[in-house]
Structure 1
Amino acid sequence: MIKVMIVDDEAIFRDFLKIVLPWEEYGFTICGEVRNGIEALKMMEEFRPDIALVDINMPFMDGLELSEKLKEVSPGVGIIIVTGHNEFEYARRAIKLGVEDYLLKPFTKEELLLTLLKLQSQIQETKDRQLTLKANEVMLKEGFLNSLIESEYLKNEEIRNRLADFGIANVSSCFQVACIEIDLMDSKWRNVSDRELWKFAVANILSETIHLNGNHMVFNGPEGRIICIYEPEEVDYGSSRVKEGYEQLCILIKKYLKFAITIGLGTLHSSYSGIRASYLEALHALRYKFVIGTDRVIGYDDSVEGVRGFASGFIPSQMNEELLIFLRMGDSDSVKNKIHTIFEGIREDRFSIDYVYTICMGLVSICLSCVSENGHPIEDCFGEEFYPYSDIMQQHSIEGVQRWIIDMYLRAIEYMKQHKQTKSGKIAETAKQLIDKQYMDSELKVETLAQQVYINPSYLRGVFKKNHGMTVTDYITQRRMQEARSLLLEGQYKLSDIAERVGFQDPAYFSRAFKKYYGTSPRDYENKRG
């Protein structure tokens, strides 16, 4: 809405102007009405109207003098002088002094509206230009500040001059950088504009609430982070106070915006080249939120790697072996306890995220190897869409990764229990599959099968009976009789053909075997079916 101020010493005329137009329908709103120039100047300071309708003939201060003062206070205000016929030349002189337009009394509703709309268009164009210039300036400033944290090749004098162009005066030439991430931002807001809006809110609160002496340069950095370059007025300004200021920011964001942020804080460096060094430290510290936890300030000194435990980012071989033994035994509780111990070591030693990923992929390898050595396909156990590295990378904390690893091991244990198969069971199943394929061979017998599975016939008879509840010979007969019955039901084969198809060279012998198995001869069985 374009704000309009009415300045006229006649109450009747002020009332007339208020009702002569449906102001809001045309994009205007009357922000106030005053009787003279003195009151108009006070209102200008308070409401900053876009347009002033000014009567030329008023007490204390005439319209021309008021117009000059209004332009001094707010050069962008649009002024329309309202004048009578005998003051026409006076109004024309006002135009030369910066007054945008004039209305000659008496004027019609249409004349007033056209004058206002013309001025509205000019004001909107001016505002659009100013917004564009401001946006360009913000982009230039943000681009330059990003170059400070990403490049080592800018000269000190060039940096100083560019910062001065953006209104940032040098105060100490010492810098400390903070990297701010909104926790779980991508999962909270899928829309890019929503993410940008919340980042803007965080940056605003940062700019307005961190009360530290010196320069604060807040801008959008790489990978969706908010960056703050702080230049204290005094070089020996306490780093603990700086950290406390950022901790207060975490509290405010959680209280008012209802989400958490994590801040990585570099150390104080001298000279402009120290900006990049402090930024890299802050980035390094921020990466430790995966291990240390989110919703906090992590100083670079807090992220020093430990020297105990898994010294090279790998699990000790003894721990590997114990975990594999528990997995083979199907001991879920011991597996969970061992993985918990491993992750406690990771937390205590504060490994970088790269070491953590290395350890996790080692744990994945142990689990997959155990599943494979038991003869189970990986995709059958975990599904076709199992991508362990990608799944681990999507976790937002060390706790999330630990839960994912434990869940993978428990799934493997449960699957292997359900599909547990002894060596003898595998032999019996293989023999059964061979019979299903070869029952039509009249020479098929136990000895033939035993040769194919590389064991002696007696052992095959024993394991087959144990696993399938019948002898090998009985299963061969069962398989042949089932196929013979199916062929008889089709009604298109001779008895001799059926006998040959199911492994009998003599049709008469086949008929006796069929009658013994089903209690009726093949011919009678076929007739009954008919």
Structure 2
Amino acid sequence: MKIILVDDERIATEHMKSLLDWEAHGFHIAATATNGRSALKLCEDLRPQIMIVDIRMPVMDGLELIHAATERKLGVKFIVMSAYEDFEYARKAISLGSVSSYLIKHEVNSDKLLLEVNKAKDSWETEEAQRVIQRSEQLKALVTRTAGATLASSSNLPNGTPPLLKPPYAMAVFHSDTPFSAVPAAVAVAAAPLPRLTWEQKLTGSAEDSGWLLVGAFPLNADQSLALFSLKSAIAAPMRESFHALLQAIREQLSQTCPASFSICYTCEADERAVTSLPASYHKITAALHHAVFIGPQATVCADDLPLPQLLPSAQQDISFAHSSSSARLQEVAELLSQHANGSAQIESVVTKLFTPLCQPVWNLRGLYHTARGLTALINEHRVKRGLLEIDPFDTEAYHAVYSTRDIQARFVCLLRELCTALDEARSISHKLQKAILFIHAHYREDISIDAVADAVEISASYLFQLFKRELGRTFLDYLTEHRIHHAKRILRHGDTKMTEVATLVGYRSPQHFSQVFKKLTGTLPHQYRSGDYSR
């Protein structure tokens, strides 16, 4: 914590220095001054947290200094030093609200001084916490373009920060890496949370020698935090390269205390309209992070370099072409499965042709979801023909989490190879049993029986019972129960749906009966499973 000593008698400042081992107690004497005017200039340049000030000084006395610093909202706490006869001055100073204590010069000793300096430190930290909250809210409203947000003057800045956003500036969003899921984002697997970025964190520590200063940092949501930097001095390296190097240093620093995987997306702005372009920079970064699956995990990227559809005029035409060719490629996959082709090279070639146009020349997120769902449907269609349960290729219980398009492509290549091998090794189940299974998949939420399914398939219940036993090695009820519990597990992993609703959603009228069946099949109760007990 920085301290400035102000007294027109140098012997007095030297005495103050000698009273304490300042560094040992967490304080640093940043400078000394012999009058209020030079002290005010030092205060603006060095941004100390505490100033120990004499009342009577030439040029500008202590009272004028305190008044000027308070008016400029520099956030300094003052300890006033004076003789007995200056008490009236001290009383006026204290009324300004930024004075922590008043000391009589000849009564000051090391214990008394340490007590008062710590008192000033506590007072500064309390007020600084409030300034941080206020400033973060203002910056967040300004960056995200909240109605009514206005730019504060530099006099409203928290202590230790530069005037707000004099160009050039840079904006960075720290984003928790989230596993890809083909289900809507609201029920996707949650990412590990990032630590909240605050003024107190050592983001500024990495920036000190880089030429950049932290202007503000605040959480956007549970998974993202935003940091805003201003260029404080000329730098030898190009601006973007310099800021990228700073972010890499910050990443290394944060990684020591943050085990979660995270990416950083940023943009730099040198235009004189820097303040008015803040929302545009923010929306550019959020658009990039919306396409995080194309970036991959633990990345540090500049949003200006990414092939985002909204930044390229011809993007819509490219996306439309990719979407139309995707259906044709999916049909090729379907034909491979129908032919029981198990050539690794052939499967990989077709899947690569599916994914390549999704990633270049522009990123096609809608096409990626369409392709992932299409391939999943094809895989499950052929699994049903084998009497197998449907799968979710992005189920983090069954498979490792995937974070990038490269991972997604590799996952489907692997699943298709396995499926082709399985199809080659054994014949498909009978057409009647396939129809029965499809009926179960469509109606498992209802109170269905083997008689109802047999009627739908147009065979007798006894014959359907024999088909299940002969071709799948299990009863109709076994299969129905497995399918229901399979879907129950997915619901429990992806949301906070009430147990009564979960039971209803998978075809059980009684929550108690559902719990009994769930435990019999999985070895754990539904609420335990939701808490992470994936024992089976």
Normalization by structure 1: what TM-score?
0.50
Match of 2:84 in 1: 92
1:360 to 372, 396, 400: 372
Amino acid in structure 1 at the alignment position of 2:365: I
Measure how far apart 1:453 and its partner are: 7.6
The answer to whether residue 246 in structure 2 is matched with residue 252 in structure 1 is yes
Secondary structure of the residue aligned to 2:303 is strand
Task: Tell me, yes or no, if structure 1 residue 402 matches structure 2 residue 409.
Answer: yes
Alpha-carbon offset, residue 4 of structure 1: 9.8
2:236 is the counterpart of 1:226: no
SS of aligned partner of 1:331: coil
1:64-463 → structure 2 map (5 Å cutoff): 64-65=56-57, 76-80=77-81, 91-98=83-90, 100-102=102-104, 112=109, 115-116=112-113, 119-120=116-117, 122-146=119-143, 149-151=144-146, 154=148, 159=150, 166=156, 180-182=173-175, 184=177, 190=192, 192-193=194-195, 196=197, 219-220=217-218, 222-223=220-221, 224-226=224-226, 245-254=239-248, 257-258=251-252, 261-263=264-266, 276=279, 279-291=282-294, 294-299=299-304, 302-303=307-308, 304=312, 305=315, 307-308=317-318, 311=321, 313=323, 316-328=326-338, 329-333=340-344, 334-378=346-390, 395-417=402-424, 419-420=426-427
Q: Tell me if structure 2 keeps the 8 A contact 1:181–1:226.
A: yes
Residue 365 of structure 1: how far off its partner (Å) = 0.8
Q: Aligned with 1:307: secondary structure?
A: helix
The letter for the 1-side match of 2:412 is I
Aligned 8 A contact 2:199 2:217 in 1: no
Residue 332 of structure 2 aligns with an amino acid whose one-letter code is E
On the 8 A contact 2:174/2:225 being kept in 1, the answer is yes
> Residues 460-484 of structure 1, C-alpha deviation per residue, up to 9 Å, x if partnerless?
xxxx9xxxxxxxxxxxxxxxxxxxx
CA-CA distance at 1:339 after TM superposition: 0.5
Query: Which structure has greater helix proportion?
Result: 1
2-side partners of 1:325 and 1:359: how far apart? 16
SS at match of 2:387: coil
Larger radius of gyration between Structure 1 and Structure 2: 1
Residues 163 and 100 (structure 1), Cα distance of their counterparts in 2 relative to 1, 3 Å cut: closer
Any idea what SS the aligned residue of 1:196 has?
coil
**Alpha-carbon separation, structure 1, partners of 2:26 and 2:208:** 33
For the residues of structure 2 that align with 1:23 and 1:355, how far apart are their CA atoms?
A: 62
Which amino acid in the other structure matches residue 323 of structure 1?
V
Are the structure 2 counterparts of residues 295 and 345 from structure 1 closer, same or farther at C-alpha, using a change threshold of 3 Å? same
Q: 1:216 offset after TM fit, Å?
A: 10
Shift in alpha-carbon separation, 1:176–1:290, aligned structure 2, 3 A: farther
How far does the alpha carbon of each residue in 1:239-287 deviate from its partner, in whole angstroms, 9 at most, with x for none?
A: xxxxx73454224323564486333689989899876566444433443
- Deviation of 1:73 after TM superposition, in Å, equals 6.0
State how far apart, in whole Å, the 2-side matches of 1:399 and 1:245 are. 31
**Distance across 1 between alignment mates of 2:375 and 2:49:** 68
1:410 alignment partner AA: R
Letter in structure 2 aligned against 1:290: V
Name the CA shift for 1:252/1:181 in 2 (closer, same or farther; >3 Å): same
Letter in 2 for 1:283: T
Deviations, residues 63-104 of structure 1 (Å, cap 9, x unaligned): 9548975666677442455xxxxxxxxx31133333922265
Structure having greater relative contact order (Cα 8 Å, sep ≥ 6): 2
2:266 match: secondary structure:
strand
Query: Does the 8 Å contact 1:179/1:264 carry over to 2?
Result: yes
Does structure 1 conserve the Cα–Cα contact (< 8 Å) formed by 2:265 and 2:285? no
1:447 maps to what in 2? none
Report deviation, 1:323.
1.1
Aligned to 1:480: none
Identity of aligned residues (%): 8
Q: Measured at CA, do residues 191 and 311 of structure 1 come closer, stay the same or move farther in structure 2, by a change above 3 Å?
A: closer
Distance 1:281 1:115 in 2: 55
Q: Which amino acid aligns with 1:135?
A: V
CA displacement, residues 383-407 of structure 1 (integer Å, 9 cap, x when unaligned): xx86559999964321122122223
Report the CA distance shift for 1:185/1:144 in structure 2 as closer, same or farther (over 3 A). same
The amino acid that maps onto 1:411 is E
Change (3 A) 1:389 1:100: closer
**AA partner of residue 248 (structure 2):** K
CA distance in 1, matches of 2:352, 2:336: 14
Q: Deviations 1:284-339 (Å, cap 9, x if unpaired)? A: 34434533665332338842326348637365444223212323414141112110
Q: Closer, same or farther in 2 for the Cα pair 1:373/1:128, shift >3 Å?
A: same
Amino acid at match of 2:124: K
1:511 is aligned to none
Q: Which amino acid counterpart does residue 331 of structure 1 have in structure 2?
A: N
SS at match of 2:197: helix
Matches of 1:178 and 1:29 in 2, distance apart?
A: 32
Give distance in 2, aligned partners of 1:47 and 1:171. 18
5+ residue gaps, structure 1: 55-62, 82-90, 106-110, 232-243, 427-451, 455-463, 465-530
Quote the Cα distance in structure 2 between the aligned partners of 1:368 and 1:403. 18
C-alpha contact 1:313 1:356 (8 A) present in aligned 2: no
Q: Secondary structure at the match of 1:262?
A: strand
RMSD: 6.1
- Identify the residue that residue 476 of structure 1 maps to in structure 2: none
Partner of 1:488: none
Q: Structure 2: any 5+ residue segments left out of the alignment? A: 70-76, 91-100, 158-162, 180-188, 232-237, 256-262, 434-461, 465-469, 471-536
